[in-house]
Amino acid sequence: MASFRVVVSDQQTGKAYQLDLSGDKANRVLGKSIGDEIPGHLVGLSGYGLKITGGADKDGFPMRNDLSGPVRRKLLLSGGLGYHPKHDGRRRRKTMRGPEVSPDIVQINAVVSKYGAKEIEKLVDKTKRGG
């Protein structure tokens, strides 16, 4: 059974909320990719829409949009997500995860794409909120 930690960023307030997603609700997220929308009621934010922006797997490797599928690959990077060279022209081989959500993913990053009637602060229990 899959379980995820969903980090929801609210761009209006500048705050991020760490919410847990497990059980059948987590299975509904499997197979989604970066850029896909998920309903907010899965993490307790009814009326909200969330857009997946990234994440990390169980070993900490970040999800990258230019791979295909849920696989882990070594890419030769000259910059961008996962590698920031100190000098121009430097390249490095780094391990990255594909953009598809699989059971190996532990954290999913998302932004609010559609706001609901109530504020997120009122929907999120302070004992469940991380960070």
pLDDT tens, residue order, the chain (131 aa): 788 999 999 999 999 999 999 989 999 999 999 999 999 999 989 899 999 999 999 999 999 998 888 899 999 999 988 889 999 999 999 999 999 999 999 999 999 999 988 888 888 875 455 55
* Domain boundaries, given as residue ranges, for the chain: 3-118
Contact 108, 7 (CB under 8 A): yes
Q: How far is CA 96 from the centre of its chain?
A: 14
Please give the span between the terminal C-alpha atoms of the chain, in angstroms, as a whole number.
25
pLDDT recorded at residue 48: 93
Residue 77 to residue 91: CA distance in whole angstroms: 5
pLDDT recorded at residue 18: 94
Residue 87 to residue 15: CA distance in whole angstroms: 33
